Structure 1
């Protein structure tokens, strides 16, 4: 969302008369954003969407201009549209050739019938001395186009195109605001009554999905706490309260920033530790996972612990459903998936007060996991449900091939 708003300001403030300059500016800003957060693949996705939208608007503008030019040429034909006249007939011949009398014209003149002019008669008609030769135009037909007039037209044209581009970016922002609600609209098709649902971390998308299904379904939700990175957010999603630790003490306070608790919607909620996932998986009917990013091959980057859950579900033949907006679907296909994993503060696992452990152990705290596509059964997006093998088609529909590697000049052709 912040990336789209930033690009909206860049387009509004940047002065340009050539669409290529605007594309270069967007690519420059996108390169700086990706360099700042190389593992935030959503940032690159939004930039590619904006670049593709600009190319589409420029293409439509060129087609409209060519159509209007073709229409104006049809309305005012010139001598160049009759190539057979350029070689055999000169302007002097056309000016001084007398009108030829044929049997048809002489009979029509004697009987008072209007003469039906042919193409040859039109060309052979003697023009007045003040007329201009065919194929030329007088100085009063249209004003001369000088540099100032041309520059004014270019500025006016760029302003019209800029307004269309700004409107396109605002449509992308509106789409981002409606993604969770659009995904939640498919909840009742995939969640049935008396089911046991296992989910992971405190995802707003998953929470809206479950709340929408709770309108007409009665089911139970098991939430793995996702320790040590997301367990606080998971507790908030279950209880609807957050503990604020201040110097004066920690009192529970309700917050309107989070959604209505699942329990208040009539859902039976069970909070469990990550170590109990495999033991409870045989009782689970569905696994619903949130995602940080989706790769073009059908895999996903999710919170740490998601891969263990997906593997346990595959062993027990439990379907795994991933809810994600289209904006998280990335066209990139990294061959080293370890490069996508981000590591957090190891102090969340072992505190610095454990001096002996800190000195003798090397502790890694991965924030994300890579889940391969063979562990996922279905993706539910704001465009509907899709199999992992179909995501390549969605990538082709939303991104231009020339924008996929915009941040890698060495890979551009």
Structure 2
């Protein structure tokens, strides 16, 4: 499951960079299709004459203003007529200058040469006419891009950098978890642990540098008991197990040199000694999105005993072990090993009996009190938030 988690994170990284690339391409296409020159509204065509109208101009009622004035001036002498005509002409010029010019529009059925308005947000604005400067060769770069456009990021380089960050996280995760040890382990405490995990070892070693405490180590029969026996006896055998487990020699040597007393007990004595334990610190194979975990076979029995005695259970694990999978069928998460570890083949054929050797146990979230990761301590109910921050929904199911 850990390999699947790393693959999901790499897929999420690739999807994120691909989305950023699409957004950049969209910006480039938008900049290429939009004229950056300021647009001025086109001049409105008008058939009205802007100079002052003469006396022969038609009035609003269809009659001629000049004819009416001439009819009124009949019977008068020429001097008085010239004076009247000059005063009427000046009054007409003042009125025409105060009125806006009359604009004549063509029929709505006729087609215009202006481009149509294509956006509903520009219905009240003038249509943008392409500027002849936008097509001038001076605004184009030698690579074919117009000025103001930016180059897309190197997709491959970004993905490689992201993978490098994940690799750095994996190399530092145990040390980051160990930095929280002094906050949870105090002097003269009795701590029960199970298996010889690298993460648990560094966590205990960091606290042992400044605190004195006792470690009770359950033997974890039948799959890891030989390695556990070697831890206490100081006789490390050749290992062929999980790479995440530390060699018994390193585990035992570093803790005893730091003044930690390591006591080996059989699995059957866990419940009897749980009342003397201050806290349980466990490693894990993987952590599920609901707060449960998959760990070495026998872990659930220890967690159940701790719950009965009200002993806090602390699980140390890196974020890379946190899986977005929900245990709808937790039995499918349990792997089975060689049954001869439980009942040797030398015992002969046995009828009407099936021998099973589960390698892992599923521990529900209600049996765990605290998870300590490289991001700090978290309650089991908070893990869903960390899952949503590290994985994408489309990558949960392969």
Q: TM-score, normalised by structure 2?
A: 0.69
Aligned match of 2:337: 344
Which residue of the other structure, out of 160, 165, 169, is the alignment partner of 1:171?
A: 165
Which residue of the other structure, out of 287, 293, 299, is the alignment partner of 2:292?
A: 299
Aligned-residue offset at 1:64: 5.2
Matches within 5 A, 1:13-412: 41-63=1-23, 76-77=36-37, 79=39, 82=40, 84-85=41-42, 88=43, 134=132, 136-142=134-140, 160-238=154-232, 241-244=235-238, 260-356=253-349, 358-405=350-397, 407=398
Q: Judging changes above 3 Å, is the alpha-carbon distance between structure 1 residues 47 and 211 closer, same or farther for their aligned structure 2 residues?
A: same
1:218-255 deviation line (CA, Å, top 9, x unaligned): 0000000101111233234445642249xxxxxxxx99
Preserved contact between residue 240 and residue 261 of structure 1 (Cα < 8 Å): no
Q: Judging changes above 3 Å, is the alpha-carbon distance between structure 1 residues 234 and 256 closer, same or farther for their aligned structure 2 residues?
A: closer
CA distance in 1, matches of 2:226, 2:250: 15
Unaligned runs of 5+ in 2: 47-129, 146-150, 240-246
After the TM superposition, which of the residue ranges 277-286 and 47-56 deviates more from structure 2? 47-56
CA distance in 1, matches of 2:316, 2:332: 23
SS in 1 for 2:323: coil
Higher Rg: 2
RMSD: 3.2
CA distance in 1, matches of 2:367, 2:131: 78
Aligned-residue offset at 1:370: 0.5
1:327-363 deviation line (CA, Å, top 9, x unaligned): 111111131111111110001111111115x445311
SS in 2 for 1:321: strand
Preserved contact between residue 228 and residue 248 of structure 2 (Cα < 8 Å): no
Aligned-residue offset at 1:141: 3.9
Preserved contact between residue 275 and residue 309 of structure 2 (Cα < 8 Å): yes
SS in 2 for 1:216: coil
CA distance in 2, matches of 1:192, 1:257: 23
Aligned-residue offset at 1:375: 0.6
SS in 2 for 1:262: helix
Preserved contact between residue 223 and residue 271 of structure 1 (Cα < 8 Å): yes
Aligned match of 2:76: none
Aligned-residue offset at 1:145: 7.3
Aligned-residue offset at 1:74: 9.3
Preserved contact between residue 297 and residue 359 of structure 2 (Cα < 8 Å): yes
Q: TM-score, normalised by structure 1?
A: 0.67
Q: Judging changes above 3 Å, is the alpha-carbon distance between structure 1 residues 133 and 325 closer, same or farther for their aligned structure 2 residues?
A: closer
CA distance in 1, matches of 2:163, 2:9: 9
Aligned-residue offset at 1:210: 0.4
Aligned-residue offset at 1:209: 0.5
Q: Judging changes above 3 Å, is the alpha-carbon distance between structure 1 residues 233 and 70 closer, same or farther for their aligned structure 2 residues?
A: farther
Aligned-residue offset at 1:76: 3.9
Q: Judging changes above 3 Å, is the alpha-carbon distance between structure 1 residues 259 and 67 closer, same or farther for their aligned structure 2 residues?
A: farther
After the TM superposition, which of the residue ranges 49-58 and 390-399 deviates more from structure 2? 49-58
1:376-400 deviation line (CA, Å, top 9, x unaligned): 1100010000110111111111111
Preserved contact between residue 341 and residue 368 of structure 1 (Cα < 8 Å): yes
Unaligned runs of 5+ in 1: 1-40, 94-131, 150-155, 246-253, 408-413
